[in-house]
Structure 1
Amino acid sequence: MNVGESINRGKTLLQLRRPADAERELRGVLAVEPQQGMAQCLLALALIQQGRAGEAVAVAQEAVRLAPDHWYSHYVAGQVYYRANLADHAIAAAQASLAADPGQAAVWELLARGHMLKGQWRQMADAARRGLAIDPEVPDLVSLLSLAHTKLGEAEPARAAAAHALRLDPESATAHLVSGRAALAFGDPKAAVDSFREVLRLDPGFGSARDLLVTALKQRNPLQQTLSKLRRRYRGGWRLVFLLPVAPPLIAVFVLVALLHWAAWVSESVTVLRLARAKATRLLFEGAEARVALACCALVAGGTAVLGLGIALGLEAVGTAGVAVMALVTAVQEATHTGSPRGRKTLYGWTGLLVATIAVAVIAGAPVVALVSVYAELGTIWVAAGVRRFFLDHSAAEG
C-alpha cells in the first residue's frame, strides 16, 4: 500500500462528501500504520461527517496525542468538537492550535464559530477580525463578522460586512444568509426575503434559511410588525409580579401582556395558514406547522361561535367557555414552539387539562370555572417560560 496515495484519496473523498468511503480508505492506512497522525485527523473528520460524534472525538484525541505540538491536530479536534456542539472544547482546541501557530486564518474562523455556539458575540467578532488580518479574502470569516455585529445590534458594521462577503463570493449561501439576517434584524424584511430565497436557491437543504424566510415573510405583515414591537416592549413584564403586593393595579399590565401574546399568536396562525396555502410559499411549511395554524384558526372561529351561542341563549357558562376556547390558541402555540420534547409534552398535557376544565365548566354550568380557565390559558406564556427554563437547566445539568 502506498500510504501517501491512500491519504490523498481519503482527502479527495471527504471533499466529495463521501465520508463513508473516506473512512474505509483511512482505516486501511491505519491498519498498516496505526501511528499515522494525518490519517487519524482525516478519519476523525470522516466520522463526524457521518454523525458519529463519540467515535470522532476519540479518534481526534488520539490524533492530538500523536502530534501534540502541531496546529493541525488541535484544529481537527476543534472541528470535531464544534460539529458535536461542544463549544467549550472547540474553543480550547482552537486556542491550543493558535498557540502552536497563530498564523492560520482557518483556526481563527473555528474560534469565532466556537464563540458563536456560546453566544459570545464580542469574542466572536474579535476572532473573526484576527483571522481577516491574516487573510482578508475569506468570505466565511467576513460573514461571521457580519453575524456578530448583527447580534450585537450594530447595524452599519453588520450590513457593511455582509456586503463585503457578497462581493467576495456572490455564490456563497452563507454570505446571503448573513445579509438576510442583518436586513431582518434592522427592519428590512423585504430585503431579507430576497436574501433567504437566494440562500435556498443556492442550497435547498439550508434548513435555517427556510425558517428565517418564513419569519421574514411574516414580518412583512404590518399587523405582525406592530405586535412584535409591543411584545418586545413588554417582554420583561413578568418581573412586575413582585410589585403586585404594593401596587395591585399592575395586574392590568399582565393582562395587556397576555392579550398581546394571544393577538400575536392568532396573527401568526393566520399568516402561516395563508402562506401554507399560497402556491409560491406552500413548500416552506411542514404539514404539522400548517395543521397547527389551521387548528388555531379553528379555535378562534369555534370559540366565537360558542360565545355567540351563549349570548343568544343567555347561558353565561357557555359564553365564557367560548372565550376560553379562543384563548386556547396561546396554550397550543406555546406548546408547539417549545424546543425540548419533554417540555413540549408537558405543555401539551397542560393544554389537555385546560380543555378538560372548559368541558367541566360547560357541563356543570359554572362560568367561574370557565373564566379561571381563560386566565390560565392566557397566562400560559409564563407557565411555558418556566417549563422551558426547567428543562433547559435539567438538560445542562445532565450534560
Structure 2
Amino acid sequence: MVKTADPVQRARALLEMRRPAEAERELRGLLAEEPQHAAGHALLALALVEQHRVDEAVAESHEAVRLAPDTWFPHYIAGQVHNRARRPDEAIAAARAALALSPEWAPIWELLARAHLLKGEWPLVAGAARQGLALEPESSDLMSLLSLAHTRLGQAREAGDTAARAVALAPESATAHLVYGRAALASGDPRTAADAFREVLRLDPGYGQARDLLVTALKERNPLYRGLSRLRGRFLGGWRLLFLLPALPPVIMVFVLIALLHWAAWVAEAVTVLRLARAKATSLLFEGSESRVALASCGLLGAGAATLVAGIVLGNDVVGTAGAAVMALVTAVQEAAHTGSPRGRAVLYGWAALLGVAVVVSVASGAWPVALLTAYTALATIWIAAGVRRVFRTLGDARTY
C-alpha cells in the first residue's frame, strides 16, 4: 500500500511545482505495475495536458473515469483537462458529473465557473462562483471569478467590491490584483487600474495579460485617447448598413464619420504608445514590435501630412490626395498590428502593403482617382479587418478568450 501511495504523492508534489515531465515518469512507473489505478490515470492526464499533449491527456482522463465512474475525482480531473485544452462543453459536462457525486466541494464549482468563462457565459460564471462561495466564503479565486463576471456584465460597483474582497483575502495573489485592476479599468479609474496591474507584475513578472492591461490603463490616462476610444466604441457601424446605401445615400456620411473616428483613435494610439515606449519609467512594458508599429504609424502620419501640404502648395491634386492616402494607411497598419491571429495579422499586413503600392502607382501614373480610392479603402480597413478576424477565429487560429 505504501508502495502505491508514494508515487501518487510524489506526482502530486511535482505537479504543484510545475514539473509535469517528472510527474509523468512517476505515474508511468506506477501504472506499469498497477494499470487499473484510476487516480494514477487521472494525474497522468494532468501531467500530459501541462505538456500540451492534449489528445493523450484526454484519453487518460477518459480511462480514469472508466475505471472509477462513481467517484468524483476522475470526473473533476477530466473537467480540468478539458478546461485547459479549451474544450468548455466537455469541461462543463465533466464538472456537472463531479457535482452530482460531490456537490459540497467548492473547487468543482470553481471548475464549472472557469468552463463557463471560456464560453463567455458571464451570468453562469457568476452563478457557479456564488455556489462555490456559499461553501467556501474565504476563497479568493472564487471571489475573483465573481468579480470578473460582474465586470463583464457591466456591474461596476459589485465588481469593485468583490475584487477588493478577493485582494483582502489573498494580498499575494496576482489573479486577485488582476481582477481588481480590470474592475477599476471598467469603472473608468485607469490610475487605480495601473497600480493594480503593476502589483500583478511585481508578484508575477511573467504575467503577460497584466502587462497588456497595464499598457491599456496607461493609455486610458490620456484624456484625448480616452475620449476618442469611447467615441469609436459608440460608433462602430456594421456591414449591414451597406444595404442602406442605395436607398439612403446620406448613410455614406455615417461610414465616413465612423472611419474618421477610428483613424483619429489609431493616431492617438500610436502617439501614446510612442511616448510611453520612449519614457524611462514605462519603456520596458513595450515589445520591440509594438514601439516599431507606433513609430511607423507616426512616420506615415508625418510623411502623409508633408505630402498633402506639398500637393496643396504645388497645386497638384494627385500629390495632395496621395498624401491623404498615406495618412489613412495608419488605420490599415494599426488594424493589422492589433489582430490576435498570426495568420490574420499577416493577411492584414499584406493588405496594408498593397495599399502602399497603390499610393505609389497613383503618383507615378498621375491617376488622381486611384489615390482617392486608396485613401477611402485604407480608412475602410476597419470593416475589412473585422471580417478577417472573424474568418480566422472561425478557423480556430485565435484564442476564444
Aligned position for 1:215: 216
DSSP-derived class of the 1:94 partner:
helix
Quote the residue 2:337 is aligned against.
336
The residue aligned with 1:90 is: 91
Q: Distance in 1 between matches of 2:385 and 2:288?
A: 24
Structure 2 distance, partners of 1:284, 1:260, is 27
* Mean CA deviation greater in 307-316 or 57-66: 307-316
Deviation (angstroms), 1:104:
1.1
CA RMSD of superposed structures (Å): 1.4
1:121 aligns with 2:122: yes
Secondary structure at the residue paired with 2:348? helix
How far, CA to CA, are the matches of 1:164 and 1:342 in structure 2? 41
Match of 1:363 in 2: 364
Cα deviation, 1:347-396, whole Å, max 9, x if unaligned, reads 22221221111111100111111011000000111111112122223339
- Give the CA deviation at 1:237: 5.0
- Tell me what 1:13 maps to: 14
| Secondary structure of the corresponding residue to residue 194 of structure 1 | helix
| 1:111 match | 112
Contact between 1:238 and 1:254, CA under 8 Å: does it hold in 2?
A: no
Q: Does 1:244 align with 2:245?
A: yes
Quick one: distance in 1 between partners of 2:246 and 2:369?
Answer: 24
Question: CA separation in 2, counterparts of 1:156 and 1:356?
Answer: 50
1:41–1:76 contact (8 Å) kept in structure 2: yes
Change (3 A) 1:183 1:41: same
1:166 aligns with 2:164: no
1:395 counterpart SS class: coil
Partners of 1:15 and 1:340 in 2: how far apart? Answer: 31
Which secondary structure state, in structure 2, belongs to the residue aligned with residue 356 of structure 1? helix
Equivalent residues of 1:237, 1:257 under 8 A apart: no
CA distance in 1 between counterparts of 2:143 and 2:392 reads 35
Distance 2:32 2:217 in 1: 52
Q: Does 1:153 align with 2:169?
A: no
How far apart, in 1, do the equivalents of 2:107 and 2:205 lie? 26
Aligned equivalents of 1:236, 1:248: Cα separation in 2: 15
| Cα deviation, residue 319, structure 1 | 1.1
**Residue 250 of structure 2: SS of its match in structure 1?**
helix
Distance 2:139 2:196 in 1: 20
Q: 2:237·2:255 contact (CA, 8 Å) conserved in 1?
A: no
SS at match of 1:236: coil
Counterpart-to-counterpart distance in 2, 1:167 and 1:15: 24
Name 1:138's counterpart in structure 2.
139
Verify the 8 A CA contact 2:225 2:269 in the aligned structure 1.
Answer: yes
**What is aligned with 1:24?**
25
Does the 8 Å CA contact 1:336/1:344 hold for their aligned counterparts? yes
Q: CA deviation at 1:100?
A: 1.2
- Gap runs ≥5 in structure 2: none
- 1:35 maps to which residue? 36
**CA–CA distance in structure 1, aligned partners of residues 143 and 254 of structure 2:** 43
The alpha-carbon deviation at position 241 of structure 1 amounts to: 2.8
In structure 2, what is the Cα distance between the partners aligned to 1:42 and 1:394?
A: 31
CA contact 2:122–2:149 (8 Å) conserved in 1: yes
SS at match of 1:13: helix
**How many Å separate the matches in 2 of 1:342 and 1:168?**
42
Cα contact 2:304–2:324 (8 A) shared by 1: yes
**Paired residues of 1:237 and 1:253 also in contact (CA < 8 A):** no
State how far apart, in whole Å, the 1-side matches of 2:237 and 2:355 are.
25
**Equivalent residue pairs, number:** 397
* 1:183 counterpart = 2:184: yes
Q: What letter corresponds to residue 395 of structure 2 in structure 1?
A: H
Partner of 1:68: 69
Aligned-pair distance for 1:126? Answer: 0.2
> Given residue 46 of structure 2, which amino acid in structure 1 is its aligned partner?
L
Q: Deviations over 1:77-121 (max 9, x none)?
A: 111111111111111110111111111100000000000000000
Deviations 1:5-48 (A, max 9, x none): 12111111111222111111111111111111111111111111
Aligned runs of 1:191-202 on 2, under 5 Å? 191-202=192-203
User: 1:39-50 to 2 correspondence within 5 Å?
Assistant: 39-50=40-51
**What residue is the counterpart of 1:324 in the other structure?**
325
Give the TM-score taking structure 2 as reference length. 0.96
Q: Whole-Å Cα distance in 2 between the matches of residues 370 and 276 of structure 1?
A: 33
Map of 1:81 onto structure 2:
82
Is 2:237–2:258's contact at 8 Å kept on the other side of the alignment? no
**C-alpha separation between the residues in 2 aligned to 1:369 and 1:243?**
25
Please say if 1:292 is aligned against 2:293.
yes
Q: Deviations over 1:167-224 (max 9, x none)?
A: 1111111110100000001110000000000001001111111111001110000001
What amino acid does structure 2 have at the position aligned with 1:307?
Answer: L
Question: Secondary structure of 1:103's partner?
Answer: coil
Q: Which amino acid aligns with 2:84?
A: R
CA distance in 2 between partners of 1:306 and 1:236 (Å): 31
Work out the percentage of aligned pairs sharing the same amino acid: 64
Residue matched to 1:258: 259
Which residue of structure 2 aligns with residue 390 of structure 1?
391
The equivalent of 2:55 in structure 1 is: 54
CA drift of 1:312 comes to: 2.5
Distance 2:236 2:324 in 1: 24
Change in CA separation of 1:299 and 1:124 when aligned onto 2, cut-off 3 Å: same
